[in-house]
């Protein structure tokens, strides 16, 4: 089938050709080093997408299903991932700075060393996610679900964790300086230093 991937803002053709599915087209673009920055990929459905290192800066992936995807080392800075399903995905060393992850489902995701600086992630679900050494400086994590998330060594300085649920989260070595934690739920942790 003929697949065309266009720019969300300008409708300019970014990539196209004959592919059996949108997933195959994206994986081919990744292998060829084609940038899909600003791509309109709203609502796409993929299964175990392999797109490590792909440039999706500023892409519109609103309500996309990326469950099981390998997006390690990808550039998703400024991307719109509101309501996206990213469960069980590999986001290691991904750049999600300034992206919008509002209400995204990211449980069981691995995002070690990921860049979440200044991300908007209100009501995001990071339950059981591996976020070790991730950078959340200045992130908006209000009402985020971080149950049993591994945040060891993560930098949460200046992050807004108002009403976030961090019960069972691993916070050893995490930097919470300047973070808004007053209304966050840390469960049985007796004291959280911010």
193: pLDDT strictly greater than 70: no
> What pLDDT, on the 0 to 100 scale, is given for residue 84?
98
Structure tokens at 146: 């971080």
- Calculate the average pLDDT of the chain: 95
Given pLDDT bands bounded at 50, 70 and 90, which one contains residue 191? very low
Region 40-68 average pLDDT: 96
Phi, psi for 90 (deg, rounded to 5): -100, 115
> What pLDDT, on the 0 to 100 scale, is given for residue 189?
64
41: pLDDT strictly greater than 60: yes
| Percentage of residues in the chain having pLDDT higher than 90 | 95
Given pLDDT bands bounded at 50, 70 and 90, which one contains residue 100? very high
122: pLDDT strictly greater than 90: yes
> What pLDDT, on the 0 to 100 scale, is given for residue 190?
43
**Residue 1 CB burial class (10 angstroms; 0-12, 13-18, ≥19):** exposed
162, 183 Cβ separation under 8 angstroms: yes
Region 68-85 average pLDDT: 98
Region 143-152 average pLDDT: 97
Distances (CA, A) of 176 to 8, 61, 76, 108, 123: 36, 30, 25, 23, 19
| Percentage of residues in the chain having pLDDT higher than 70 | 97
d(CA 3, CA 1): 6
Distances (CA, A) of 34 to 8, 29, 54, 88, 133: 16, 5, 8, 25, 29
Given pLDDT bands bounded at 50, 70 and 90, which one contains residue 47? confident
Q: Which residues, including other chains, have CB under 8 Å from residue 103's CB and lie 6 or more apart? A: 82, 83, 122, 123, 124
HSE (CB half, 13 Å, CA atoms) of 65? Answer: 7
Region 132-138 average pLDDT: 98
Listed by start position, the domains of the chain span 2-32
Query: How many CB atoms sit inside 10 A of residue 43's CB?
Result: 13
> What pLDDT, on the 0 to 100 scale, is given for residue 166?
96
> What pLDDT, on the 0 to 100 scale, is given for residue 192?
53
**Residue 114 CB burial class (10 angstroms; 0-12, 13-18, ≥19):** buried
């Amino acid at each position: 089938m003929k697949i065309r991937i266009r720019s969300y803002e300008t409708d300019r053709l970014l990539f196209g050709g004959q592919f059996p599915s949108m997933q195959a087209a994206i994986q081919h673009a990744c292998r060829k080093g084609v940038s899909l920055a600003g791509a309109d990929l709203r609502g796409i459905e993929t299964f175990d997408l392999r797109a490590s290192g792909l440039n999706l800066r500023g892409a519109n992936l609103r309500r996309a299903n990326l469950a099981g995807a390998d997006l390690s080392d990808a550039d998703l800075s400024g991307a719109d991932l509101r309501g996206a399903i990213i469960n069980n995905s590999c986001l290691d060393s991904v750049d999600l700075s300034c992206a919008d992850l509002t209400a995204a489902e990211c449980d069981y995701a691995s995002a070690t060393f990921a860049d979440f600086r200044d991300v908007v992630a209100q009501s995001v679900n990071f339950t059981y996610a591996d976020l070790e050494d991730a950078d959340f400086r200045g992130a908006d994590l209000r009402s985020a679900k971080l149950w049993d998330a591994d945040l060891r060594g993560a930098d949460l300085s200046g992050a807004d964790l108002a009403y976030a649920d961090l019960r069972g989260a691993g916070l050893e070595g995490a930097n919470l300086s300047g973070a808004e934690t007053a209304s966050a739920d840390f469960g049985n942790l007796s004291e959280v230093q911010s």
